[in-house]
Amino acid sequence: MALSDPVRRSLIARLSLSDATVNDLAEPFEISIQAISKHLKVLENAGLISKSRDGQRRLCHLDEQALETLTSWIDATRLTAERRHRRLDDLLTKITKETP
């Protein structure tokens, strides 16, 4: 998944503030610009970011709608998992009480 890597999550967090160049995005990391570019390609293929040219600069943009859609899916999946865990906890509690 595109956001399974902490570097990609950091890139998304940075882009949530404003558009940025690849060099701007690479600055805080101790990895090569080529590695950052690969991470950005994964995010672009997932539809979370896009790139455009502004003269000589190539800017990366966060697709906020795509991120909102992903966030909604994550929330729904988390709620389903929590319901299942609660049912499992209830069942285990019931079995534990019934076992002498």
Residues 52 and 26 placed together within one structural domain of the fold: yes
Residue 1 has pLDDT above 90, yes or no: no
Statement to judge: residues 74 and 58 lie in one domain: no
Parallel, antiparallel or unpaired: strands 49-54 and 20-21 = unpaired
Q: How far apart are CA 26 and CA 78, in angstroms?
A: 31
Q: Tokens standing for 41?
A: 């390609």
Question: What is the per-residue pLDDT for 77?
Answer: 95
Same domain, 29 and 74: no
Average pLDDT, the chain: 93
Instruction: For residue 52, give its domain range.
Output: 1-62
Model confidence pLDDT, tens digit, residues 10-48? 999 999 999 999 999 999 999 999 999 999 999 999 999
Contacts 24+ apart (CB under 8 A), 41-47: 42/2, 42/5, 42/8, 43/2, 43/8, 43/11, 43/12, 45/2, 46/1, 46/2
Query: Residue 67: what pLDDT?
Result: 86
The helix/strand/coil state of 41 is: helix
Task: Give yes or no: residues 51 and 77 share one domain.
Answer: no
Does 87 lie in the same domain as 55? no
Q: Are residues 54 and 75 in the same domain?
A: no
